[in-house]
Amino acid sequence: QELQEKMRELLPLLPVLEQFRADSRLIAHLRSELRNLSGILLALQEEMGAYDHEELQQRVLLLEARLHACLQKLGKKNIKIHLKREILGEIVGKKTGLEVFPPVSPNSPHSNQVWYMDGYYKGRRVLEFRSAADFASGQNFVQHLLPHPWAGTGHVVFNGSLYYNKFQSNVAVRYHFGSRSVLAQRSLPGAGYNNTFPYSWGGFSDIDFMADESGLWAVYATNQNAGNIVLSRVDPRTLEVLRTWHTGYPKRSAGEAFIICGVLYVTNSHLAGAKVYFAFGTEAAAYEYTDVPFHNQYSHISMLDYNPRERLLYTWNNGHQVVYNVTLFHLVSAAGEL
């Protein structure tokens, strides 16, 4: 039975292996092409005296175009995700409680701390646990009292600060745990709030902060974008919006969302049967529809966040803290797709 269970877990990898075979053939072809181009370059160096400037320039431009085409094929990577569910622990009766596992940037020391925030609006109390084990046992914690109440469950801890949406506003707040003070506040231009554009489960989840390998992000929706998801890269120090992407996915139809390596993934529901259904890549500003099963045993997800250090997805699912292992497959795409 254990072997059969292991085999079932490996079944989703079969199409990935087939893609790897195709990608290997593409890489072999590109390697051969690059060797040919290197030979052409050497020949050009030897024959420079035999051509006038204009003809030489044309041959160099042709060579550059072929090199650029090769680099484009090699540079486009498609991130495929495989999720495996694991239960870390549960808090009985806390249907929409929130536990935050901190994403840590590469320049910061590793941390095992856990932050817990109860409820989805008007709360101000944040419990800081020393470890996941302390959180599970409810021991060894420090309490922080925020100066402004929060809205929703889209908060994130990044580099020692808590980023959250101020209640009844579209204001982003940066609260620093070390100094126990607010270091920055800034409005997200046009962002809906107060259940104007929440996720499908409601809960004042209009604005969702998240972090990945590249930094801090905010997901929200605006009237100008017809209630569809807007993704902004945010300066973690000042909360200034650095760049914004507009998608065509209605935020009210999304169950939850998370970001990995600059790609925003969206689930199509917060209930049982949910799938990772939509992916938007910021590098190419392009989207695709996906079909990644998202096992939702407890049928009500009210928080979903990616931890880039541990490559884990943490969810709050109807009173249970559920962890998903994330396997990233970087596949070369011959078609140059997302």
Query: Is position 93 within any domain?
Result: yes
Helix and strand element counts for the chain (H, E):
4, 20
CATH number of 308's domain: 2.120.10
Query: Are 88 and 132 contacting, i.e. CB atoms less than 8 angstroms apart?
Result: yes
User: What pLDDT, on a 0 to 100 scale, did the predictor assign at position 51?
Assistant: 57
Q: For the whole prediction, is pTM greater than 0.85?
A: no
Query: Does some domain include residue 314?
Result: yes
Token duo for residue 135: 């959180």
- At residue 87, the pLDDT reads 46
Instruction: Give the count of beta carbons closer than 10 Å to the beta carbon of residue 147.
Output: 11
The predicted pLDDT at position 81 comes to 54
CA–CA separation, 306 and 203 (whole Å): 20
pLDDT, residue 179, reads: 95
| CA 326 to the chain's CA centroid | 11
Structure tokens given for 2: 């254990």
Does residue 42 belong to any structural domain of this protein?
Answer: no
Number of domains comprising the chain: 1
At residue 326, the pLDDT reads 75
Name the residue range of residue 104's domain: 76-330
Q: Quick check: is 1 in a domain?
A: no
Which regions in the chain score pLDDT beneath 50? 73-79, 86-93, 103, 105-110, 331-338
- DSSP secondary structure string, 228-283? EEEEEEE-TTT--EEEEEEEEEEGGG---EEEETTEEEEES-SSTT-EEEEEEETT
Given a contact cutoff of 8 angstroms between Cβ atoms, the answer to whether 197 and 220 are in contact is yes
Give domain status of residue 325, yes or no.
Answer: yes
In a domain, 48, yes or no: no
Amino acid symbol at 88: L
**Inside any domain, residue 57:** no
Question: Would 326 be classed as within a structural domain?
Answer: yes
